[in-house]
Amino acid sequence: MTPPFAINGRFLTQAMTGVQRFSGEVTLALDALAASGELAPAPRLLVPRGTAVPGYRALRIEQVGTHGGQAWEQHDLPGAVGDAFLLNLGNTAPLRLRRRQAVVIHDAGVFDTPESYSFAFRAWYRMLHRALPRLGTRLITVSEFSRGRLALRLGVARERIGVVPEGGEHILRESADAAALAQHGLEPGRYALVVGTGAAHKGLDALRGAASLLASRGMVLAVAGGADPAVFRSRFDGTGEAVRPLGRQSDAALRALYENALCLLFPSRYEGFGLPPLEAMWCGCPVIASRAGAVPEVCAEAALWFDVEAPEGLAARLAQMLDEPGLRDALVARGLERAAAYSWDRAARALLRLAGPDGMRPS
């Protein structure tokens, strides 16, 4: 038996980013443990009224409160928790619960890359992240890199922050969308893929040389994610049709894009974990990435690396991928082996061991 605990389900009301992906997949894995009888009693999932909730098998869904957003989390949620321990998976948590909760803070980006966030957003997150450990809330993050950065920025000992690496096998849950490539005029093996937003720390300017190289080989740079197509194209004037903004993609379409790409290019200057490279490796797509943030920790020797301070190195690595016989196949094999070490079931079990003040474990 485990102590009774509840899950903060506010993530179900938010747009999908890596944080919401983590929250959703860990919740699904906890639901699976509860459905199998390994986790008892089944956790309660607390959500704002009117929230669309997936079909969980064992979680006990409770729609509570009268507010939405931060007001719901800070004012409605604490009163609904009762005597349970609250698990917060998406960077924020109600201050009133103090020691009776754990929070997963994914990175120290609001301190380290302030240019990526609005003033109001980073001011609120900085205040919240500093206050929670001082109130006794248990801290968890997703990588050793983030643990070090949070310890420094929040002024707490590293030992006070647990680490729960993410998974990536969700990308294989749905069959690949066979129409995804044709929809965007892409040919198998004739494009390099980028997955990410246009946030400043994503380092998309480093792709200019790669786009030019691809254009010279009659190939294209396909960009999936939330980057505004007009803004993205403005960064790559002169490459014409070599840049193909795709917009947000379903998991089925993204799987097809990974499986048929020459490689994934991941030039981010700062990552608390780096989910797209892990998804790519699960799909047999080799990775070229900047040696920055937690990405080297996640990919290790399964990727080709370039120096984030020398972005021209990305094009050089891409040329190596194109021209060196056997390199792509070797990276695919290394990536598949590396990816197998990360799963959402492992993440959920690690979270149960770390989350509570005394730890919560499957029975």
Q: Residue 259 belongs to a domain with what CATH number?
A: 3.40.50.2000
Asked whether residue 34 is domain-assigned, the answer is yes
User: Quick one: pLDDT at residue 239?
Assistant: 46
Rounded CA-CA distance 143/152 in Å is 14
pLDDT tens for 176-231 read 999 999 999 999 999 999 998 665 556 677 898 999 999 999 999 999 986 544 44
Q: Which tens digit of pLDDT belongs to each residue from 49-74?
A: 999 999 999 999 999 999 999 999 99
Domain count across the chain: 2
Residues 130 and 196 reside in one and the same domain: no
Cα distances from 342 to residues 184, 193, 203, 347, in angstroms, run 31, 22, 25, 8
Over residues 136-154, the pLDDT tens digits come to: 999 999 999 999 999 999 9
Whether residues 49 and 153 fall in one domain = yes
> What pLDDT shows up at residue 197?
65
Whether residues 189 and 97 share a domain: the answer is no
User: How does residue 311 score in pLDDT terms, banded at 50, 70 and 90?
Assistant: confident
The enclosing H or E element of 146 equals: helix 144-154
Structural domain for 284, as ranges: 176-339
Confidence of residue 41 (pLDDT cuts 50, 70, 90): very high
Residues 6+ apart with CB under 8 A from 178: 256
* pLDDT at residue 238 tops 50: no
Handedness of CA 108, 111, 112, 118 (dihedral sign): positive
Paired tokens of 347? 């993440």
The mean per-residue pLDDT over the stretch 270-277 comes to 95
pLDDT confidence of 360, banded at 50, 70, 90? very low
Give the residue from 186, 144, 139, 136 showing the smallest Cα distance to 165. 144
222 in a domain, yes or no? Answer: yes
CA 349 – CA 361 distance, rounded (Å): 7
122 vs 361, more confident: 122
Look at residues 237, 298, 238 and name the one whose alpha carbon lies nearest to residue 266.
Answer: 298
* Same domain flag for 34 and 95: yes
**Residue 340: Cβ within 10 Å count:** 12
pLDDT at position 241, please?
61
